[in-house]
């Protein structure tokens, strides 16, 4: 029993509640919120260390033993994702200080921001499928508020679609939980895993697993991403960066968790299906990224391609691929947030989203240009940077298990991602300055969070030796669900 | 009894899906409510509709109905209530700002 693992959830929760009382005092909100995220980074780093020393930590709420009460589980995978979430959250929060504007600050921007973190962190830590649903809703309701905050026409129009699709997928989520409960009679993930293993994953359970795949596919933008490009192009930059870094990744996390812990018995159907979906997602994602000449759209379609790549790692499901998945997931959260922050800064200095109206910005903004270059290289996976190791491990896992076609698609999609990113870099930063470009705007304060994330991206790549033991430990638990079950049910 | 409830759930899903696919925003919201009702009925049905006392220990019955799905449904109802009220207010705001409730007119490029 260690109460410490629920702290990353409680810190933003109480911060958010506290911030509601300081509606008018933006400065107070900033100070409290800033201290809280930094404290939470320290706390979650400490938990990663504890998990590294002691193995999986669990907490039975109110002392009710595992299958009967709600249990919070912090294995290495969840602990690493919580740490990454807090880092990404902090970067977006500090970016928001300078960009979000007085109006939104007064209308509860910061409380919504922290409630979103509560939902994301709760989803990572929970060990109960209905509690996962509740955490998803906490996250989604905050995201509804953040996406529509400001109330421009575009925001209203796109948030209607976003909310509609999420209400529908949440209803499907509850329906899937109902079927699962009707079939095996439990909600605790570890207990579910045990019962599904006992019952043998027959046709009924496979159908339920596919239903869950549809639900989380809708949330994560796996093939069913039609809602994503419109919704992610309307909110403020800091919010888009937060969404791009965190929201879809929670869906990915749920897919990883369910298909490594509970539904891993009939891989011939489920995992092949996941692999196919991942391949199509990668293809459609890069097609979108290549097609547009609009900074935001290109980055959004790169999210989709990235999701396809991560989920491909889940489909392969051997140790190397799972390590790659975890590595790539962490890298992707950081690098997508970084790219959106840089993209937002780029749009702010150029005064337009259209690439053909930009040009020659490297003379005025050399730091922004080179940061963007490094981030783009990291996204694609050029060796010294963070994207490389994840991609290498996933592709190696794919080749070991004979997924040649999809591995090829993954590599080809990296090439097209590179093309789409270089398209932004070359047309925005190189060439002649366009007449429409404004006089120099100061970006020093805006770039500080991006610099921190860039350092982290470089560290994840160069310092992979230090990160690898943690990732390897996380993959071990995913590869052998028995460890998770024993830690939760204490048999 | 479960068969009857399954059919009722199926009809709710069917009508809800039909309404979601229509043009008017209010009909869409109505459709989401119906689907949510269907889901809650499904949760209740999937725990087997055995006869038993209400899950109150004071009743001292030999058999009780399953209390867990009732708690799940209660949670889901309040969540959906929150989301639906938000959706209604959003629809109202959108009607004020955009001057239409027709989904066909709410699409297109980024021009406002």
pLDDT digits (tens, 9 = 90+) for A38-83: 999 999 999 999 999 998 999 998 888 878 889 999 999 999 999 9
In this structure, is residue B81 part of a structural domain? yes
The reported pLDDT for the residue numbered B111 is 47
Cα Rg, chain A, nearest whole Å: 21
CB spacing of B110 vs A160 below 8 angstroms = no
Q: Mark which residues 118-157 of A lie under 8 Å from B by CB.
A: 130, 133-134, 137, 141, 144-145, 148, 151-154, 156-157
A280's tokens = 């199509």
Q: How many other CB atoms are there within 10 angstroms of residue A483's CB atom?
A: 15
* A441 Cα to chain B: minimum distance (Å): 26
Measured between beta carbons, which residues in chain B are less than 8 angstroms from residue A152? 112
**Cβ within 8 Å, pair B112-A163:** no
Q: Would you tell me which residues 318-347 of chain A have a C-beta closer than 8 angstroms to some C-beta of chain B?
A: none
Whether A35 has a pLDDT exceeding 90, the answer reads yes
Task: Say whether residue B43 is in contact with chain A using an 8 A CB cutoff.
Answer: yes
Q: Do B43 and A181 touch (CB under 8 A)?
A: yes
Q: How many domains does chain B have?
A: 1
pLDDT at residue B106 in the model: 79
List strand residue ranges (DSSP E) for A261-379, in order. Answer: none
Does a structural domain hold residue B112?
no
Helices A481-489 and A248-261, packing angle to 10 deg: 90
- With 0-12 CB in 10 A as exposed, 13-18 as middle and 19+ as buried, what is A489? middle
- State the burial class of residue A280 (Cβ atoms within 10 Å of its Cβ: 0-12, 13-18, 19+): middle
CATH number at residue B34: 1.10.287.3510
**Cβ–Cβ < 8 Å for A287, A297:** no
The model's pLDDT over B20-70, given as tens digits with 9 standing for 90+, comes to 999 999 999 999 999 999 999 999 998 888 888 888 999 888 889 999 999
* Best A140, A166, A171 residue to mutate vs chain B (most B CBs within 10 Å): A171
B102 burial level (CB within 10 Å; 0-12, 13-18, 19+): exposed
Structure confidence at residue A63 (pLDDT): 83
Q: Nearest-CA distance from B63 to chain A in Å? A: 17
Q: What is the mean pLDDT of residues B5-27?
A: 95
Q: Distance (Å, rounded) from C-alpha A314 to C-alpha A359?
A: 40
A122: pLDDT strictly greater than 60: yes
Among B10, B32, B46, pick the best mutation site for testing chain A contact (most A Cβ within 10 A): B46
Task: Dig out the tokens for A104 from the structure.
Answer: 């939104």
- Give the residue on B whose Cα is nearest the Cα of A174: B39
Are residues A170 and A136 in contact, defined by beta-carbon separation less than 8 angstroms? yes
CA distance A246 to A139: 10
Q: Is the pLDDT at B112 greater than 50, yes or no? A: no
Structural contact between residues A213 and A270, judged by C-beta atoms closer than 8 angstroms: yes
Task: Using alpha carbons, select from A327, A485, A473, A307 the residue that is nearest to residue A394.
Answer: A327
The DSSP line for A299-333 is HHHHHHHHHHHHHHHHHH-SHHHHHHHHHHHHHHH
Residue B107's Cα: distance from chain center in Å? 26
Residue A352: is it exposed, middle or buried by C-beta count within 10 angstroms (0-12/13-18/19+)? middle
Within-domain flag for B40: yes
Mean pLDDT for the stretch of residues A203-224: 92
Residue A241 pLDDT > 80: yes
Radius of gyration in angstroms for the set of CA atoms belonging to chain B, rounded to a whole number: 19
Q: Which domain holds residue B71?
A: 2-49+66-103
- Summarize pLDDT for A331-379 with one digit per residue, the tens: 999 999 999 999 999 998 888 888 888 888 888 888 999 999 999 999 9
CA–CA separation, A190 vs A486, rounded Å?
8
Q: pLDDT tens-digit profile of A19-33? A: 999 988 889 999 999
| CA distance to partner chain A, nearest, from residue B46 (Å) | 5
Q: Minimal Cα–Cα distance from A177 to chain B, Å?
A: 8
The residue among A323, A299, A290, A324 whose CA lies nearest residue A309 is: A324
DSSP characters over chain B: -HHHHHHHHHHHHHHHHHHHTSSBHHHHHHHHHHHHHHHHHHHHHHT-----B-S-GGG--S-B--HHHHHHHHHHHHHHHHHHHHHHHHHHHHHHHH---BGGGG-SSS--
pLDDT at res. A440: 67
Query: Given CB atoms, is A164 within the 8 Å cutoff of chain B?
Result: yes
Model confidence at A437: pLDDT above 60: no
Q: Which two tokens stand for residue A34?
A: 């800033």
Write out the H or E segment, with its range, that includes residue A74: strand A71-74
Q: Torsions phi, psi of A155, nearest 5?
A: -60, -45
Of the candidates A333, A324, A110, A105, the one whose C-alpha atom is nearest the C-alpha of residue A220 is: A333
Q: Is the pTM of this model over 0.90?
A: yes
Q: Does A159 touch chain B (CB under 8 A)?
A: yes
B residues 12-41 closer than 8 Å to A (CB): 20, 25, 28, 32, 35-36, 38-40
The secondary element (H helix, E strand) that includes residue A57 is strand A57-60
- Selection from A109-123, A259-273, A475-489 with the highest mean pLDDT: A109-123
Q: Which of residues 167-186 of A touch B (CB under 8 A)?
A: 167-168, 170-171, 174-175, 177-179, 181-182
**Cβ contacts (< 8 Å) between A145 and chain B: which residues?**
86
Mean pLDDT of all residues in A153-179: 93
Q: What is the pLDDT of residues A269-323, one digit of tens each?
A: 899 999 999 999 999 999 999 999 999 999 999 999 999 999 999 999 889 999 9
Q: What is the C-alpha separation between A86 and A205, in angstroms, rounded?
A: 35
d(CA B13, CA A10): 37
Residue-wise pLDDT for B65-110, tens only, equals: 999 999 999 999 999 999 999 999 999 999 998 888 888 887 755 5
A163 close contact with B: CB closer than 8 A: yes
Helices A129-148 and A153-184, axial angle in degrees (round to 10): 180
Give A216 or A202, the one with higher predicted confidence: A216
């Amino acid at each position: 029993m260690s109460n410490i693992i629920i702290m990353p959830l409680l810190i933003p929760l109480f911060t958010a509640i506290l911030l509601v009382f300081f509606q008018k005092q933006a400065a107070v909100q900033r100070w409290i919120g800033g201290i809280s995220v930094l404290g939470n980074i320290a706390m979650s780093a400490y938990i990663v260390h504890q998990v590294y020393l002691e193995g999986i930590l669990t907490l039975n709420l109110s002392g009710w033993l595992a299958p009967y009460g709600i249990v919070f589980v912090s294995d290495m995978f969840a602990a690493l994702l919580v740490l990454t979430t807090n880092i990404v959250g902090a970067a977006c929060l500090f970016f928001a200080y300078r960009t979000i504007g007085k109006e939104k600050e007064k209308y509860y921007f910061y409380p919504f921001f922290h409630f979103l973190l509560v939902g994301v962190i709760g989803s990572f830590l929970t060990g109960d499928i209905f509690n996962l649903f509740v955490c998803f809703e906490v996250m989604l309701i905050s995201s509804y508020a953040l996406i529509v905050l400001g109330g421009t026409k575009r925001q209203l129009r796109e948030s209607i679609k976003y909310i509609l699709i999420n209400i529908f997928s949440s209803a499907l989520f509850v329906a899937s939980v109902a079927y699962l409960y009707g079939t095996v009679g439990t909600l605790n993930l570890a207990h579910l895993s045990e019962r599904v293993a006992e019952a043998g994953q027959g046709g009924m359970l496979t159908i339920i697993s596919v239903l869950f795949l549809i639900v989380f596919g809708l949330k994560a933008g796996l093939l069913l991403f039609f809602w994503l490009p419109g919704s992610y192009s309307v909110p403020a930059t800091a919010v888009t960066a937060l969404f791009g870094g965190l929201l879809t990744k929670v869906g990915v996390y749920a897919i990883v968790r369910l298909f490594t812990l509970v539904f891993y018995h009939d891989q011939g159907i489920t995992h092949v299906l996941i692999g196919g979906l991942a391949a199509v997602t990668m293809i459609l994602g890069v097609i979108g990224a290549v097609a547009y000449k609009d900074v935001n759209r290109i980055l959004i379609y790169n999210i989709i391609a990235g999701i396809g790549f991560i989920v491909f790692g889940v489909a392969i499901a051997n140790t190397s691929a799972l390590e790659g998945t975890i590595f790539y997931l962490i890298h992707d959260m950081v690098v997508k947030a970084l790219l959106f922050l840089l993209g937002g800064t780029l749009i702010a200095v150029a005064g337009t989203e259209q690439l053909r109206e930009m040009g020659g910005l490297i003379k005025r903004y050399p730091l922004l240009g080179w940061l963007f270059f490094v981030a783009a290289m990291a996204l694609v996976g050029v060796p010294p940077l963070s994207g490389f190791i994840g991609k290498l491990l996933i592709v190696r896992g794919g080749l070991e298990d004979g997924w040649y076609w999809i591995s090829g698609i993954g590599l080809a999609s990296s090439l097209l991602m590179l093309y789409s990113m270089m398209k932004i870099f070359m047309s925005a930063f190189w060439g002649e300055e366009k007449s429409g470009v404004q006089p120099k705007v100061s970006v020093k304060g805006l770039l500080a969070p991006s610099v921190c994330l860039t350092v982290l991206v470089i560290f994840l790549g160069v310092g992979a030796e230090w990160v690898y033991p943690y990732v390897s430990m996380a993959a071990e638990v995913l590869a052998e669900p028995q460890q998770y079950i024993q830690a939760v049910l204490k048999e | 009894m479960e068969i009857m409830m399954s059919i009722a759930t199926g009809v709710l899903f069917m009508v809800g899906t039909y309404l979601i696919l229509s043009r008017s925003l209010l009909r869409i919201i109505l459709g989401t409510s119906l689907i949510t009702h269907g889901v809650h009925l499904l949760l209740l049905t999937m725990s087997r509709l055995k006869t038993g006392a209400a899950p109150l220990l004071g009743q001292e019955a030999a058999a009780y109905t399953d209390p867990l799905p009732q708690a799940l449904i209660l949670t889901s109802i309040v969540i959906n209530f929150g989301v639906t009220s938000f959706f209604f207010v959003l629809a109202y705001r959108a009607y004020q700002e955009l001057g239409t409730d027709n989904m066909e007119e709410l699409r297109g490029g980024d021009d406002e």
